[in-house]
A = this chain, B = another copy of it.
Amino acid sequence: MRNVFYPSSVAVIGVSARPDNLGRNIVANLVEFGFEGAVHAVGPGGGTIETRRIYHAVGDIPDPVDLAVVLTPAGSVATVLEECGRKGIRWAVVETAGFREYTAAGPALEAEVERVAAKYGIRFVGPNCIGVVNMENGLCVPFPRMNTQLKRGPVSMISQSGGVGLAVFNLMINEGVGLNKFVSVGNMQNVDAEDMLEYLLADEGTGLVFMYLESLRDGRRLMDLARRSSKPVLVFKSNIGGLSRSIALSHTASLSSDDRVVDAAFRQAGILRVHDATALGHGMKILELPPMRGRNLAVISRTGGQAVIAADACELSGFRLATFPDTFLREIEKHFRASVIRLTNPLDLGDLFDLDLYARIVEQTLQLDGVDGVVFLHTSTSDAENLAGRQLLERLSRLSAEYGKPVAFYLSAAAREVSYLKQTYGFPVFTQVVETVRALEMSYEYSSRERPVPEGEGVQALDVNRSAVRALVDHARAEGRALLVSEALAALEHYGIPTARGVTAASLAEAQAAASAMGYPVALKIIAEQISHKSDAGGVKLNLRDEADVSAAHAEMLESVRRAHPSVTPDGVLVQPMVAGGVEMFLGGRQDPQFGPVVLVGLGGIFVELYGDVAVRVAPISRPEAARMVASLRGAQILAGARGRASADVDSLVDALLRVAQLLVDFPEIAELDVNPLRVFEEGRGSRALDARVIPGAAAPG
């Protein structure tokens, strides 16, 4: 992979002397960015560009070549790679478009390219990409002409869209953020975004990786890479509407949309997700500063109004305005004797304009243990203030580094001055008060991310009967159906989740016998493979108090099921003891195409649907993670015993959640699973699943 970024020599293939030839731009970019190696131009027409000879074929190049940059018509790429292979070139960047993304012939063309690449052991970036940039050695091979204002810095970028890559370059130039390496991964036919991430996280020059992704190739690998890295990974994942959603056989599927899983997975892996270019700009800037390690913020402002806005933003970002100690305030006060100022946090500097004093106040603030970061709000309306602002910026930059705490500098000034500061100083400048605070929120989010649990630790092996569930699942899959409610509850029992399992009855008489054996009241549920939403079909009868109730309910149920599903012959009814009391919870799981097993928990009943108050995680999960999921629900107060209720047995809920996770991990062939409800009783009394749905997937596992 190093050859992609650090080749000694590059062949640009597809160059001609025609003025609109894009290959010429690539050569020109390499020249303008001062590439340190040799560049060879190749094109069947030959000739010269700017005194440089164009070789007719790759084989004509007299020197060895490390990297081929290919921009020839799609139909010719395989042939070009064949030439490259014969020349001994093992790395290529294929910028050519016109493969699977546009034409019907694309996949066949790609297959031919892949065949040639495999034959020679060539690895390649693309096709359908705009290329690669490395600011360390001036490698710059995109086919659009690149802006040389781009600075060298710590940010590396992987983009699935060339156009977005170009727009982010403009953003970086405008914000004064420096680039280290860039790769446009295009169709990711051979090298994908995760391969590039792995390289860049190990790359010395890269301090932060930004990825623009429209799809995920291997979500698990992305998580693993990010989790193990000490470098921040910022991801803008778009295409949220276009993602395929599973057909909602289960509630779980509709509650854990693909995008919600992406959110959860990123959070678990410590990946910072941004949803627009504004947040991206802030992220790149704030992560260059020392991290915000706690929630205590000090706001120092030249105007009262901005201070008020910042204080609001602190509240919304979950920050606390640090309390200044009296000794500190008295120290400050000495300098303010002449002026009208209120000594609080936010500190309003009033009409006082003394640069040196500002810097000293910031320094004293940074020295306080109770302050994790500082926001300095500056407004400049004249040239004199602009000059003072520049000096202040330098001071703040040094202070932030010295004390290892972020000082987020906001400036309201004319665009030219703001632009000058951003270009000149390697210190971030923010231009909106609210967003300055939001940027610090991002810094705190990153520094307080969940630390990776060492492999194998944390996730507990539970005592389960895997082979019994294997038999149930295999049986159902062989018959091409979901598990019957009785089987689903049995599967949960085998995994150590208590259920109101009940007894299967083939006739009314059997049902009545079962009911009197277990004691009234009881519930009846229809057992039928084709009916997944029993209630909607009238297939659930609750609170039956005696034999007559059971008889009436049985008849009524069969009748309404017959009306709802005329072609279905039920397999019988499930007789369950009525379970009173407790809090109804919802547990679920499914296999996500990108991230594999996913679990969720929420409050049961209609509210899970109305308020979408669920916690989602990629499994496996540790016990503390499961407990955090439960605690993160807004409905958690109900479990804790709000409004005079007894507090519920949260431990048993957490245990059930871990067991559901284990079930999904152990059985990739279980596509979707709902436990709805799980009734959680008072503390110490456990919980019990009353109903469940287990739906195997279509494809057989290996």
Which residues of chain B are near A76, meaning CB under 8 Å?
none
| Segment from A49-57, A264-272, A307-315, A512-520 that makes contact with B | A307-315
Q: CB within 8 Å of B: which of A310-339? A: 311-313, 315
A241 interfacial by beta-carbon distance below 8 Å: yes
Cα-based distance from A670 to B79 in the complex (angstroms): 86
Question: Does the CB pair B415–A278 fall under 8 Å?
Answer: no
Which residues of chain B are near A313, meaning CB under 8 Å?
276
Which residues of chain B are near A162, meaning CB under 8 Å?
303, 305
| Segment from A144-152, A190-198, A363-371 that makes contact with B | A144-152
Question: Does the CB pair A340–B102 fall under 8 Å?
Answer: yes
- Closest residue on chain B to residue A159 by CB atoms: B305
Question: Does the CB pair B102–A173 fall under 8 Å?
Answer: no
Cα-based distance from A214 to B102 in the complex (angstroms): 55
Question: Does the CB pair B607–A312 fall under 8 Å?
Answer: no
Contact with B along A580-614 (1 / 0, CB 8 A): 00000000000000000000000000110111010
Which residues of chain B are near A236, meaning CB under 8 Å?
309
A2 interfacial by beta-carbon distance below 8 Å: no
A638 interfacial by beta-carbon distance below 8 Å: yes
A-B pairs with beta carbons under 8 Å apart, 20 shown: A102-B340, A146-B381, A147-B381, A149-B414, A161-B304, A161-B305, A163-B379, A164-B309, A170-B381, A173-B415, A174-B414, A174-B418, A214-B308, A275-B434, A277-B431, A277-B433, A415-B419, A535-B643, A606-B643, A610-B638
Question: Does the CB pair A144–B433 fall under 8 Å?
Answer: no
A166 interfacial by beta-carbon distance below 8 Å: yes
Give the Cβ gap from A480 to chain B, nearest Cβ, in Å.
29
Which residues of chain B are near A210, meaning CB under 8 Å?
none
Most buried by B among A97, A241, A305, A351: A305
A245 interfacial by beta-carbon distance below 8 Å: no
Which residues of chain B are near A301, meaning CB under 8 Å?
163
A171 interfacial by beta-carbon distance below 8 Å: yes
Give the Cβ gap from A602 to chain B, nearest Cβ, in Å.
12
The number of times this chain is found in the oligomer is 2
Which residues of chain B are near A312, meaning CB under 8 Å?
238-241
Contact with B along A418-435 (1 / 0, CB 8 A): 110000000000011111
Give the Cβ gap from A578 to chain B, nearest Cβ, in Å.
18
A434 with B276, Cβ < 8 A, contacts A241-B312, A381-B147 known: yes
Question: Does the CB pair B379–A170 fall under 8 Å?
Answer: yes
In which size bucket is the chain A interface?
35 or more
- Closest residue on chain B to residue A145 by CB atoms: B382
A212 interfacial by beta-carbon distance below 8 Å: yes
Which residues of chain B are near A97, meaning CB under 8 Å?
340, 351
Question: Does the CB pair B606–A642 fall under 8 Å?
Answer: yes
A254 interfacial by beta-carbon distance below 8 Å: no
Give the Cβ gap from A358 to chain B, nearest Cβ, in Å.
15
Give the Cβ gap from A94 to chain B, nearest Cβ, in Å.
16
Which residues of chain B are near A431, meaning CB under 8 Å?
277
Cα-based distance from A163 to B308 in the complex (angstroms): 11
Which residues of chain B are near A48, meaning CB under 8 Å?
none
A470 interfacial by beta-carbon distance below 8 Å: no
Most buried by B among A165, A174, A311, A435: A174
Question: Does the CB pair A163–B305 fall under 8 Å?
Answer: yes
Contact with B along A604-644 (1 / 0, CB 8 A): 00110111010000000000000000000011011000111
Which residues of chain B are near A381, meaning CB under 8 Å?
144-147, 166, 169-170
Partner of A308, one of B146, B161, B634, B637: B161
Partner of A611, one of B240, B303, B611: B611
A134 interfacial by beta-carbon distance below 8 Å: no
Q: CB within 8 Å of B: which of A129-168? A: 144-147, 149, 159-167
Which residues of chain B are near A170, meaning CB under 8 Å?
379, 381, 412-414
Which residues of chain B are near A174, meaning CB under 8 Å?
414-415, 418
Cα-based distance from A435 to B277 in the complex (angstroms): 9
A119 interfacial by beta-carbon distance below 8 Å: no
A306 interfacial by beta-carbon distance below 8 Å: yes
Which residues of chain B are near A536, meaning CB under 8 Å?
644
Question: Does the CB pair B415–A164 fall under 8 Å?
Answer: no
Cα-based distance from A415 to B167 in the complex (angstroms): 12
Give the Cβ gap from A210 to chain B, nearest Cβ, in Å.
14
Question: Does the CB pair B606–A238 fall under 8 Å?
Answer: no
Partner of A147, one of B342, B414, B610: B414
Cα-based distance from A309 to B160 in the complex (angstroms): 12
Q: CB within 8 Å of B: which of A276-304? A: 276-278, 301-304
Partner of A315, one of B147, B241, B315: B241
Cα-based distance from A302 to B144 in the complex (angstroms): 13
Question: Does the CB pair B638–A276 fall under 8 Å?
Answer: no
Which residues of chain B are near A277, meaning CB under 8 Å?
431-434
Cα-based distance from A418 to B415 in the complex (angstroms): 10
Which residues of chain B are near A642, meaning CB under 8 Å?
606, 609-610
A303 with B434, Cβ < 8 A, contacts A102-B340, A170-B414, A414-B170 known: no
Most buried by B among A162, A312, A414: A312
A454 interfacial by beta-carbon distance below 8 Å: no
Cα-based distance from A569 to B394 in the complex (angstroms): 70
- Closest residue on chain B to residue A214 by CB atoms: B308
Question: Does the CB pair B160–A305 fall under 8 Å?
Answer: yes
Which residues of chain B are near A433, meaning CB under 8 Å?
167, 276-277
Cα-based distance from A84 to B382 in the complex (angstroms): 32
Cα-based distance from A149 to B381 in the complex (angstroms): 11
A166 with B308, Cβ < 8 A, contacts A144-B382, A161-B303 known: no
Cα-based distance from A315 to B240 in the complex (angstroms): 9
A697 interfacial by beta-carbon distance below 8 Å: no
Which residues of chain B are near A103, meaning CB under 8 Å?
340
Question: Does the CB pair A305–B212 fall under 8 Å?
Answer: yes
> Which 5 A-B pairs have CB atoms at the shortest separation, nearest pair first?
A163-B303, A161-B305, A164-B305, A276-B434, A167-B412
A404 interfacial by beta-carbon distance below 8 Å: no
Which residues of chain B are near A382, meaning CB under 8 Å?
144-145, 147
Which residues of chain B are near A379, meaning CB under 8 Å?
163, 166-167, 170
Question: Does the CB pair B412–A166 fall under 8 Å?
Answer: yes
- Closest residue on chain B to residue A164 by CB atoms: B305
